[in-house]
Amino acid sequence: MSVCARCGVSMAPTDDHYELAGEKVCEDCYLDHVAVPKVCDPWAVYSAKKTGDGQAGLTDRQKRILELLKAGGPMPLEKILETLGMDEAAFRSDFAVLRHLELAKATKVGDQVCYTLYRSSSA
């Protein structure tokens, strides 16, 4: 039985194995790497606007991000991660959804990239 090089899960010989950067990884780790949502995706924005439920379909974590941005205005990534206690990969995945729904966006404040509400008067 082999072990995934990324997460350490045991993989049976009948399981699908993938090679990623020279390592044998499980299907979940492979998909996490190749299926990362892209923030700047016009087709995703179009699709989200046509088929999305707006804020009704958001996860609790996505709602917490929006609440934080509403209360704190534009803020840098580090402050968001610290305040919400989440890792960068989770934030970026959730932020891509919020961006596609045109609920949140990134903006420059001075020389720093900050995140804010899409329709915010402060940015």
- Residue 71's pLDDT is 94
| pLDDT tens-digit map of 29-40 | 887 777 666 666
Domain shared by 68 and 110, yes or no: yes
Domain shared by 81 and 62, yes or no: yes
Residue 123 within a domain = no
**Which residues are CB-contacts of 93 (< 8 A; sequence separation ≥ 6)?**
36, 37
| Residue 83 burial by Cβ neighbours in a 10 Å radius (0-12, 13-18, 19+) | middle
Residue 15 within a domain = yes
| Residue 4 burial by Cβ neighbours in a 10 Å radius (0-12, 13-18, 19+) | buried
pLDDT tens string, the chain, 123 residues long: the values are 788 888 888 887 777 778 888 888 888 788 777 766 666 666 555 565 666 555 567 889 999 999 999 998 899 999 999 999 999 988 998 898 898 888 999 999 999 999 999 885 444
> What is the overall mean pLDDT for the chain?
81
Domain limits for position 26? 2-34
Residue 122 within a domain = no
DSSP category for residue 105: E
The count of other CB atoms within 10 Å of the CB of residue 33 is 13
**In 3D, which of 39, 37, 36 has the Cα closest to residue 106?**
39
